[in-house]
């Protein structure tokens, strides 16, 4: 039957070629096209025909392809880059709106409010009491390494207040301090100010501000931006009052810097272009010391002409490696405190953290606890970078 159909098609084609429609034989269908014709002489669409058409169809123009690419990318770019742009603008503009608490912070740095002084007195008296409660305190000759943790550093303030009382009693010798972020800023401040009371006043004053103006610290981003701005003010305050020659003091810059040189070791992350860690312990000018103080705990700062950021990003607790003595490793993030204190702390939270540090160091020295956040370690060259 198929053969008869083919014969009919050939007969039809013979008639067609003899007609006027195909006077030019070159226009007559080929044998391949004959196989694609139906009984009426119409060419069926086959896969071969479709491939031929596709192969001979003109390609999309370059302009058309570019337009398609642009229209596909634009929504992605809008969805991805606009939020980043908005966040960047917020980070630049919002700190300009907190002038009210800027002025209060400047005032508190020069003269802490009475309630801060009262709280500091209470906590210092408590440190003396708990330190004196240790029946036979161990004799320790140690260095101290404090991990970063934002305002969890109030825990270290408590630990330090007891250790200082034990040092005054001759039971403990504190030699060097190392840290990153707030874990470096706190020992730096205590050493350069040469006053445990004044250093505690600074910390408690900031807690008083966060308690007085909660709306400025109601999100981690706002709290971090405010702290970064206010610690910048603090760095200039420390430089102007404690690291430079003043008319009301006989102290020279060189004498001031001896209190931190080879005493306070500061972890800093440099971007050149990849993150690398350096530990600064030599301070040759008041400005260089101020930059180190800021670089270890800020989002992005310049240290000695290089872009720098929080030292915790590359080594949150730079352990000593020179095998001189034992070191006390303090990790405030493991003290069991509310982790929201990384961003901010109220006066009540600050008091709780300081008291927790005081109690933990007493238990640790007595061998009855406190070892979640406190650990004695040797000093060896094989120590690696530490996490917070």
Domain containing residue 124: CATH number? 3.40.1090
Kindly report the length of the chain.
Answer: 388
According to DSSP, the residues that pair with 264 across neighbouring strands are 177
Q: How confident is the model at residue 362 (pLDDT cuts 50, 70, 90)?
A: very high
Q: Are residues 215 and 286 in the same domain?
A: yes
Last residue of a domain, one of 19, 35, 56: 56
Q: Are residues 156 and 21 in the same domain?
A: no
Q: Are residues 41 and 119 in the same domain?
A: no
Domain tally, the chain: 2
Which phi and psi (to 5°) does residue 213 adopt? -125, 65
Query: Can you spell out the DSSP letters for 154-195?
Result: HHHHHHHHHHHHHHHTTSEEEEEEEEETHHHHHHHHHHHHT-
| Residue 85 pLDDT | 72
In a domain, 272, yes or no: yes
Q: Are residues 121 and 14 in the same domain?
A: no
Give yes or no for residue 198 having a pLDDT over 70. Answer: yes
Q: What is the pTM of this model?
A: 0.78
Give yes or no for residue 46 having a pLDDT over 60. Answer: no
> What is the mean pLDDT of the segment spanning 132-137?
92
| pLDDT single digits (tens) 5-35 | 444 544 544 444 444 444 444 445 555 544 5
Give yes or no for residue 262 having a pLDDT over 80. Answer: yes
Q: How confident is the model at residue 341 (pLDDT cuts 50, 70, 90)?
A: very high
| pLDDT single digits (tens) 82-123 | 777 776 776 778 788 888 999 999 999 999 999 999 999 999
Q: How confident is the model at residue 172 (pLDDT cuts 50, 70, 90)?
A: very high
Q: Are residues 47 and 149 in the same domain?
A: no
**Where would I find the H helices in the chain?**
2-18, 31-35, 47-56, 62-93, 99-110, 114-132, 154-168, 182-193, 196-212, 220-242, 253-257, 286-295, 347-366
Q: Are residues 177 and 50 in the same domain?
A: no
Percentage of residues in the chain having pLDDT higher than 70: 76
| Residue 70 pLDDT | 53
In a domain, 67, yes or no: no
> What is the mean pLDDT of the segment spanning 271-297?
94
Q: Are residues 37 and 138 in the same domain?
A: no
- Residue 44 near residue 33 (C-beta atoms within 8 A): no
Domain containing residue 6: 2-56
The residues, ordered by sequence, that sit 6+ positions from 298 with a Cβ below 8 Å of its Cβ are 228, 231, 232, 308, 309, 310
| Residue 62 pLDDT | 56
In a domain, 383, yes or no: no
d(CA 17, CA 9): 12
The residues, ordered by sequence, that sit 6+ positions from 35 with a Cβ below 8 Å of its Cβ are none
In a domain, 136, yes or no: yes
> What is the mean pLDDT of the segment spanning 38-58?
51
In a domain, 69, yes or no: no
Across the chain, what does the average pLDDT equal? 84
- DSSP element (H, E) containing 302: strand 301-303
More confidently predicted of 40 and 191: 191
Give yes or no for residue 236 having a pLDDT over 50. Answer: yes
In a domain, 89, yes or no: no
Give yes or no for residue 253 having a pLDDT over 50. Answer: yes
Query: Can you spell out the DSSP letters for 216-229?
Result: GGSSHHHHHHHHHH
| Residue 51 pLDDT | 47
Angle at 386 between CA 380 and CA 388, to 5 degrees: 140
């Amino acid at each position: 039957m198929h053969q008869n159909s083919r014969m009919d098609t050939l007969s039809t084609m013979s008639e067609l070629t003899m007609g006027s429609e195909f006077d030019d034989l070159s226009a007559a269908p080929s044998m391949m096209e004959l196989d694609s014709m139906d009984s009426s002489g119409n060419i069926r669409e086959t896969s071969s025909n479709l491939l031929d058409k596709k192969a001979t169809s003109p390609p999309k123009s370059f302009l058309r392809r570019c337009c398609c690419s642009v229209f596909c990318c634009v929504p992605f770019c809008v969805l991805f880059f606009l939020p980043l742009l908005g966040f960047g603008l917020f980070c630049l503009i919002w700190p300009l709106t907190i002038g009210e608490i800027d002025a209060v912070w400047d005032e508190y740095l020069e003269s802490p409010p009475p309630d801060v002084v009262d709280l500091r007195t209470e906590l210092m008296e408590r440190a003396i009491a708990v330190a004196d409660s240790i029946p036979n305190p161990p004799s320790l000759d140690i260095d101290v390494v404090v991990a970063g943790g934002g305002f969890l550093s109030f825990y270290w303030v408590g630990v330090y207040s007891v250790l200082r009382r034990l040092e005054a009693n001759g039971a403990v010798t504190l030699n060097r301090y190392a840290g990153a972020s707030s874990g470096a800023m706190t020992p730096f401040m205590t050493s350069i100010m040469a006053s445990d009371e004044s250093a505690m006043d600074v910390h408690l004053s900031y807690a008083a501000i966060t308690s007085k103006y909660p709306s400025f610290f109601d999100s981690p981003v706002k709290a971090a931006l405010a702290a970064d701005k206010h610690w910048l003010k603090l760095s200039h305050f420390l430089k102007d009052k404690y690291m430079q020659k003043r008319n009301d003091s006989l102290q020279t810059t060189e004498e001031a810097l001896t209190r931190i040189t080879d005493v306070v070791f500061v972890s800093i992350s440099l971007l050149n272009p990849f993150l690398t860690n350096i530990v600064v312990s030599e301070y040759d000018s008041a400005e260089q010391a101020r930059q180190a103080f800021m670089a270890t705990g800020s989002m992005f700062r310049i240290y000695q002409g290089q872009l720098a950021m929080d030292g915790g990003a590359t080594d949150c607790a730079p352990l000593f490696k020179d095998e001189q003595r034992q070191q006390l490793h303090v990790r405030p993030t493991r003290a069991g405190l509310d982790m929201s204190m990384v961003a901010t702390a109220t006066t009540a939270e600050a008091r709780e953290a300081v008291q927790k540090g005081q109690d933990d160091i007493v238990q640790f020295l007595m061998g009855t606890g406190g070892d979640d956040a406190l650990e004695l370690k040797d000093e060896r060259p094989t120590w690696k970078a530490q996490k917070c």
